[in-house]
Amino acid sequence: MTTQQCRETEQTIRNILGQLEGAACQRLSVVVTDGVAYVDGHVPEYRRKKAVTQLVARVASSCRVVNRARVLPSEP
**Full domain range(s) for residue 32:** 3-71
Residue at 56 is within a domain: yes
pTM as predicted = 0.84
Query: What CATH number corresponds to the domain at position 19?
Result: 3.30.1340
Kindly report, residue by residue over 53-76, the tens digit of the pLDDT.
Answer: 999 999 888 889 999 999 988 765
Tell me the C-alpha distance between 32 and 63, whole Å.
8
Residue at 31 is within a domain: yes
Q: How many domains does the chain have?
A: 1
**Is 23 strand, coil or helix?**
coil
* Residue 40: φ, ψ to 5°: -130, 160
In terms of residues, how long is the chain? 76
Residue at 76 is within a domain: no
- CB neighbourhood size of 67 (10 A): 20
Find out whether 1 and 63 touch, Cβ atoms under 8 Å: yes
Kindly report, residue by residue over 1-59, the tens digit of the pLDDT.
Answer: 788 988 999 999 888 888 776 655 667 899 999 989 999 998 888 998 998 999 999 98
